[in-house]
Amino acid sequence: MPRSKIAGIGMYVPEKVVTNNELKQYMDTDDQWIQERTGIQERHYAHRTEETTTTMAVEAASIAIKRAGISAADIDFIVFATLSPDYYFPGCGVLLQRAMKMKEIGALDVRNQCSGFLYALSVADQFIKTGMYKNILVVGSEKHSFGLDFTTRGRNISVIFGDGAGAVVLQATENEQSGILSTHLHSDGESAEILAMYNPGTHANHWAEKNYAAFDEAEIGQMFMSHTMIDQAQNFPFMDGQSVFKKAVVKFPEVIMEALYKNGYNPSDINLLIPHQANLRISQFVQQKLKLRDDQVYNNIQHYGNTTAASVPIALCEAWQKGMIKEGDLVCLAAFGSGFTWASALLKW
């Protein structure tokens, strides 16, 4: 049975850097509050009109494809993870296929927020193991800066998120010594509303107390994206940060240990852990819990914020570019986020 390995990796972050102090012009916040609670110093924001989730993905994907030594025409399938798509539909997968002038290959969109890249990687891994595809482009890309509440009302969320993209070419290999050893996916929908963006959506509307049974279809249609919704700021993400924190510090270590046990390893065997960059405090907690040394964990949230589905491939790419990952290294990727969903992947580089 073929295995899958990362044959090429790329990342892209927009040029514009926004420091914590610069956010003060929009909301009542301060650098010390943000750094103490999250570790974040700055983040990148995409160009308002010229950059989208898809254009950033194209940049990251082009680098990954080049580093894999193949061309866009060799890609058999796309798996695209994002929570900030260019359009409500169609998803970014087809936009990437078009932008990169690829063949009429399949393009799948994954909606698993912060765990999105690991879900995408796992899906791609299964397609390669069955022999169906040889080169799969797996992407995580986010343009958060266009959908955040830049007022004091939204400060607990808006200061955390940043824009960027990461991509890998997952390739079939017969080499039993390298590649993805296993992936592990989990969810618990009980907490779906704790970290969520409710609108626009087709749920029983949260944003006004009305008897919707009394409305006809035309009126309901007007409510999908209404003035009321915007006036009440119901079109922004919601997060109960403390509940997210409490669950994350349990599920991160759990899913990392699951991957290690499955393959007969201990935390001390990890050469590099790349946790999803949710919050530096969460990563530090996980490090302590697993008794990992500083050189076994890679964090870069200080400079990018939380880039959701892009955070794991960006951190993996940056660590690799810095020479922190060598052939034969045991690398663990782990994520936790909205849903709740959480996931891990263990690989030999």
Of 134 and 155, which CB lies nearer to ligand COA in the complex structure? 155
Q: Does the annotation count 299 as an active-site position?
A: no
- What is the rounded CA–CA span in Å between residue 277 and residue 44? 14
What one-character-per-residue DSSP string does 142-183 give? E-GGGSS--SGGGHHHHTTB--EEEEEEEEEE--TTSEEEEE
Helix (H) or strand (E) run with residue 282 in it: helix 280-289
Q: How far is the CB of 26 from ligand COA (least distance, A)?
A: 11
Both tokens of 252, joined, read: 């991160």
In angstroms, what is the minimal distance from the CB of 34 to ligand COA?
6
Q: Which of 199, 276, 300, 317 is catalytic?
A: 276
Nearer to ligand COA, 34 or 123 (CB): 34
Site of interaction with ligand COA (CB under 6 A): 29, 33-34, 37-38, 114, 155-156, 159, 195, 241-242, 244-245, 248, 278-279, 282, 306, 337
- Count of CB atoms situated within 10 Å of the CB of 96: 27
Tell which residue, 66, 79, 73, 63, has the closest CA to residue 102: 73
Task: Compare residues 84 and 306 and give the one whose CB is closer to ligand COA.
Answer: 306
Nearest distance in Å: CB 110, ligand COA: 15
Catalytic residue, candidates 20, 92, 306, 332: 306
Nearer to ligand COA, 173 or 311 (CB): 311
Select from 305, 307, 312, 319 the least CA-distant residue to 335: 312
Question: Is residue 114 annotated as part of the catalytic site, yes or no?
Answer: yes
d(CA 243, CA 21): 27
- Which of residues 146 and 245 has its CB atom nearest to ligand COA in the complex? 245
Closest CA to 261 of 346, 175, 348: 346
- Residue 177 CB, shortest distance to ligand COA, in Å, is 33
CB of 60 to ligand COA, least distance (A): 20
CB closer to ligand COA out of 172 and 274: 274
Strands (E), the chain: 3-12, 16-19, 42-45, 77-81, 106-110, 135-142, 164-173, 179-187, 195-196, 238-239, 272-275, 330-337, 341-348
For tokens 């990796």, what's the residue? Answer: 9
**Closest residue to bound ligand COA by CB:** 241
Q: Which residues pair with 141 in a beta bridge?
A: 165
Catalytic residue among 92, 114, 317, 332: 114
CB-CB contact of 307 with 161 (8 Å) = yes
- Shortest spacing between CB 61 and ligand COA, in angstroms: 23
Catalytic residue flag (residue 276) = yes
The catalytic site residues sit at 114, 276, 306
